[in-house]
Amino acid sequence: MLESIRPTQGECVDVRRAGVLLGLLLTVGCGAATTHPPSPAPSGTAATASAAPPAGPYVALGDSYTSGLQIEPQVGTPPGCARSGVNYPSLVAKALGLAGGAFTDASCSGARTRDLTGAQRTDGGTNAPQLDALAPAIRLVTLGIGGNDAGFIDVIGQCAKESVKQTLLADLTRTPAAESPCRTYYTAENGQDQVQRKVDAAGERLADALREVRRRAPQAKVYVVGYPALLPADAAACTATLGRSVPAGDIAFLVEKERQLNAMLRQRAEAAGVGYVDTFAASAGHDMCAGESTRWVEPPFPAAGLAPVHPNARGQQGMAAAVLRTLGAGGRP
């Protein structure tokens, strides 16, 4: 009886691929493993590209997309923060001629906005509150954070899980798979978008964080750095990377959610009177489904030694270029 509903060889490949995809995505966060202790106002016109690049001292704040998870060389302490010596803050500092005490990278993999004002425990030591690096003398601050607060990588993992379930169900019942099981999952409870609620809540915490940044470094030019494109607008471009097991509707859903996350970051930056660096537009065509020589973000099956669903060295260079263009310092780190 079961023989009559056994998947074809090609279908088995996609089911196995989806299973591997799920396993990888569910172990990936916006950073290394992190544990947290209990969680414990100026505004104005948003800054745009400066006529002259800001001078230091420069402090970089953020999560693993800032720190450069698993990109060699890994530098700084604690090692659990996974800071790369060629992450975008380091490249920006080099381009601006800032070294030594003129540049501090306080970013840490796995960071949430609460880790800006509270200590962050990682598997490789405890990172001091990131905002402790700020002082009235600081003249430039970049902040790349919010994805972990919104649970964005968790959303990707859940989408992979829903895709696996739908693929198996469709194979067993010989019925068409749902067009977007992940969208259904996140709207089924009451018809409201659960992901958008998380993004909105993250925005409230980011607003508080930006007020504190401005209070501690009142003379600094502050820039919120958005997230690069993880997936392409055309779902068909991902077939070779993700297979048929991830529905086109779910790829479109994830692109939509990342756009919403970046839109929130931009809106909160503008409301706080600080600048915004758009790395999403700059990374078009360089998502995880692009070729290995082109992509800025690694796919679930990354190149050796790199972190899945995170920027690679090329991505950090691209993000640095976007920051420098916004600063008015040219477009190449």
Catalytic residues: 64, 310
Side-by-side strand order, sheet with 221-225: 103-105, 58-62, 140-144, 221-225, 275-277
Q: Is 31 helix (H, G, I), strand (E, B) or coil?
A: strand
Asked if 60 and 106 touch (Cβ cutoff 8 Å), the reply is yes
Please tell me the distance from the alpha carbon of residue 297 to that of residue 287, in angstroms, as a whole number: 6
| Beta-carbon count within 10 A of 1 CB | 4
Tell me the residue ranges of DSSP E strands in 128-236.
140-144, 221-225
Backbone CA torsion sign across 73, 77, 79, 81: negative
Q: What are the distances in angstroms from CA 124 to CA 41, 62, 130, 288?
A: 35, 17, 16, 28
| Beta-carbon count within 10 A of 212 CB | 15
Nearest-CA neighbor of 30 among 316, 307, 323? Answer: 307
**Structure token pair of residue 153:** 């990588």
Nearest-CA neighbor of 186 among 111, 103, 249, 127? Answer: 249
Residue 244 gets which letter from DSSP? T
Asked if 31 and 68 touch (Cβ cutoff 8 Å), the reply is no
